[in-house]
Chain A
Amino acid sequence: MKIIVCLKQVPDTAATIKVKPDGSGVETEGITYVINPYDEFALEEALRIKERLGEGEVTVITLGPPKAKEALRTALAMGADKGVHLSDPAFEGGDSYATAKALARAIQGLPYDLILCGKQAVDDDAAQVGPAMAELLGLPQACVITKLEIDANRKKAVVHRQIEGASEIMEVSLPAVFTAQKGLNEPRYPSLKGIMGAKKKEIAEHNPSSLGLSPEEVGLAGSKVKILKLSPPPSRATGKILEGEPREQASQLVKLLREEAKII
């Protein structure tokens, strides 16, 4: 079974995000980057399917700046077989559509039985690349899955999706696109043996022309959505601990609620 996993390199979840003064984006200096956690679930699931079936190939693909190659190397260290890197200045600044389009085009050139992505990237939280890619490739899709059973012979998959207050179980014919939710699995930690082995694995590079796309079709130029401005959430004031006898505390509290919070 040939499995393709889409990855995005995102700022570490513990990183302090600072918006650029002009609101056009975020400051990247000093930020540690990691594989988007939901994409890690997708990758782990792919590796487990391959291990369970005892055969197959896992290809990881990412669109991002040269630095994003680190994410591919980590994925290869975890056990993926091949990497594909869509890296070109023209790809930069793209929205979900432009990204999905470039990824779909790259995937069209590869053999596959299954495509897995994270349900969303934790940086822009758009949750659109997976579904959009499925549309562009003309594949069935199931999003936010928490369980995946593959029947390789019948070319079918049974997926469990989290829905409000219940879970939905669906049978989907393969190939298909699934997006992974937390709970699908617990991703592994790459061994040093894996890290060493990853150095020898192949990463194919692509730019718009090698995908048969013009620079206008990708990145910011090919986007349908443009970011106007980013602004940070208002900073939260630190909590206050009231001291003294219960009676004093209560009167202080009433005073604060009336004068500072202005809610009574």
Chain B
Amino acid sequence: MCRPWANRDVRPYNVGAVNTNSLVLLVLLVLAVGAFGYNALRLFRLLRLGKREDRFDRIGERLKSLLIYVLGQKRVLEDPYSGVLHLFIFWGFIVFSLGTIEILGKGLYKGFSLPLLGSGQPHQYLAFLQDVFALLVIAGVLMATYRRLVLRPERLGGHFSDAAVILVLIFGLMVTHLGASGLNILLNRNPSASWTPVSRVLARFFAGLDLANGTEPFLHSLFWWSHILLLLGFLVYIPFSKHLHIITAAFNVFFRSLRPQGALAPMGLEATETFGVARIWEFTWKQLLDLYACTECGRCQDQCPAYLTGKPLSPKKLILDLQGHLLSQGPALMKRGRSPGNGNGHALVGEVILEDELWACTTCGACQAACPVFIEHIDKAVDMRRNLVLMESRFPYEVQQVFKNLENNFNPWALGWDSRADWAKGLGVKLLSENGEAEILYWVGCAGSFDERNRKVSRAMVNVLQAGDVDFAILGTEEKCTGDAARRIGNEYLFQILVRENIETLDKYRVRKVLTTCPHCYNTLKNEYPQFGGNFEVVHSTEFIADLIDVGRLKFRKDQELVVTYHDSCYLGRHNGIYKAPRRVLRAIPGTKVVELPHSREKGFCCGAGGGRMWMEEKIGKKINLERTEEVLAAKVSAVGTACPFCLTMLEDGIKSKEAGESLKALDLVELVAQAI
């Protein structure tokens, strides 16, 4: 039996058979690489407009991200159709990149061989992979074309011509590769044919054509040169296309934020003249790299509650508008230098990004969770908000009173700080100031302390804690707002004042473990307070109750007979990855049937209150809470469980607006548990 791989001279392309002019190839190669290099360098230099930021830490974790999200395409595959077609094209690209080096090398110098491959067998593997992937890539391109022309998902939006150019180029590359490879077999009777099944079929096809003598070598040259020209054309085109992501995406994934997802970037308030980002060069280099990495896939937009309810914000558009601005204004800025007041470029807000776009963001993180290349939208929006608030005192009118309330009464409502613990009267709750010690500090939060509806949740929490025989206490009037909303609206100054005061209080009582019912308090205390020296464990009520149930400290007595769904809070779910605990709690309540909503877990739909939106009027488009309430109503459940005071408020308001209070109740999970014990 013939064993072709035993033949050590087999190569994917036997270039020697082509009458190539190495000099012509060399000139074209130099021109194309030169053009690419020039434009790539130009883009690279624009990144240097950005401020410093250290993203070179934790290299191991970064390499792991590359494996999972670039080579493994984990996020891309979350949408099966586009995921699979992309997987074909992406892996085809990897395989062909190796092959391409080999072709070009051989075109220049016959004896060239990829150093890592050595000689012999590995080349046959490569030939095999190229042959198969050429077909898979063609399948991918056809799928992509069908998607662009027929399926036309809204998220892709315009820029069809760019996509068309890319698809035609890739298609052309594959066809010319297979054509050349097939003819190669025909011309040389190459024994490696057994490694290239697709090319062999083509070879048979060409043989069947019974071409005139000399046509086959000519056709082979034609395919070969077309392949080379398409390849070089592709190279020249990349820096001007969304296809730039084939270079930038991997870097962007490598340099991704390894901060806890819910934590905003810390910001120094001393030794600086300006705060936040007003102009493009005030972003960091990584924030600018994000702009290059965007693939325009629109997955962010598809998940954005603001976009889906008719607000002017689309995370995709935000990134592309900033990208367009960087590309058009960047070069001039490079020349002029970037010191303030030195003709330093346009203000972003108002000129590039609309104020309404900026304030529409609920910081729910759906865009970031969907982005296959880990673009960080929220930090950009908040940095621009910071500039408006801290430099220009520009923000939605309603917010001013909230800031003042936080300053004077340490809660967003205009209620006296000294009434913070009134909800607990008569419940026998210990105060740390009286007892000085408890195993757990129950951090009640502003909503749980002041909002009439959410005070019921706090009282239910106390019932559950007492039933579970938990040693806990509260801070009472010493507790202050964690500053979550202030920070997300952009008032870092006010946020840091609140943080310092709270940390001082927590340190005073040597608090080690904090329990919250509010995911915003949870996220801020857990992920942001450590930025300022906070050092304590933080648990959310859903996790805590799930544990109490697990160890048998809560016994359910009453049957609930309830069909219930769970609405994921963005700051509990996406920002902190707590999906299981709330569902475990619900399932533990006897007689409860749990139904999942279409938008749940990582794709949970915001209630509309995050990012300080709780305190702003929603004047544009459909109200986000109504959109969500309609989804809940469609699930035909008798109760929707929440684990966040703002979600509870928003859903209750939604239910009231829909006049559906008879059939649907919104209840915090803590209340559902308290009812059942």
Contact = CB atoms under 8 A, between A and B. Distances in A.
B418 A190 contact: no
Given A14-B409, A14-B416, A15-B416, A192 B397 contact: no
B393 A194 contact: yes
A191 interface: yes
B417 A32 contact: yes
Interface string A26-63: 00001010100000000000000000000000000000
B612 to A, nearest CB: 14
Contact of B390 (A30, A32, A186, A192): A192
Contact of B414 (A14, A192, A195): A14
Contact of B408 (A14, A188, A192, A195): A14
B237 interface: no
A46 B415 CA distance: 30
Contacts, number: 50
Contacts of A15: 416, 418
Interface in A51-90: none
A189 B418 contact: no
Contact of A16 (B269, B275, B400, B419): B419
Contact of A189 (B400, B414, B416, B492): B400
A16, A190, A192, A194 pick with most chain B CB within 10 angstroms: A192
Contacts of A189: 393, 395, 400, 403-404
A42 B312 CA distance: 37
A135 interface: no
A133 to B, nearest CB: 28
A236 to B, nearest CB: 15
B509 interface: no
A135 to B, nearest CB: 34
A217 interface: no
Nearest to A187: B400
Interface residues of B, number: 24
B93 interface: no
A148 B391 CA distance: 28
Contacts of A190: 393
A191 B387 CA distance: 10
A12 B418 contact: no
Contacts of A193: 274-275, 390-392
A14 B415 contact: yes
A15 B408 CA distance: 9
B5 interface: no
A12 B418 CA distance: 12
B423 interface: no
Contacts of B391: 191-193
Nearest to A15: B416
A34 B407 CA distance: 10
Nearest to B414: A14
Interface string B396-435: 0100100111001100001111110000000000000000
B125 interface: no
A16 B416 contact: yes
A32 B400 CA distance: 18
B451 to A, nearest CB: 15
Contact of A191 (B393, B404, B409, B418): B393
Contacts of B415: 14
B400 A12 contact: no
**Closest 6 interchain pairs by CB?**
A192-B390, A191-B393, A14-B416, A12-B408, A32-B408, A192-B493
Given A191-B391, A192-B391, 18 more contacts: A12-B408, A14-B409, A16-B419, A34-B404, A34-B408, A189-B393, A189-B395, A189-B400, A189-B403, A189-B404, A191-B390, A191-B392, A192-B269, A192-B389, A192-B492, A192-B493, A193-B275, A193-B391
21 contacts: A12-B409, A14-B414, A14-B415, A14-B417, A30-B418, A32-B409, A32-B417, A189-B393, A189-B395, A190-B393, A191-B389, A191-B390, A191-B392, A191-B393, A192-B269, A192-B275, A192-B391, A192-B492, A192-B493, A193-B274, A193-B390
Interface of B: 269, 274-275, 389-393, 395, 397, 400, 403-405, 408-409, 414-419, 492-493
Interface of A: 12-16, 30, 32, 34, 186, 188-195
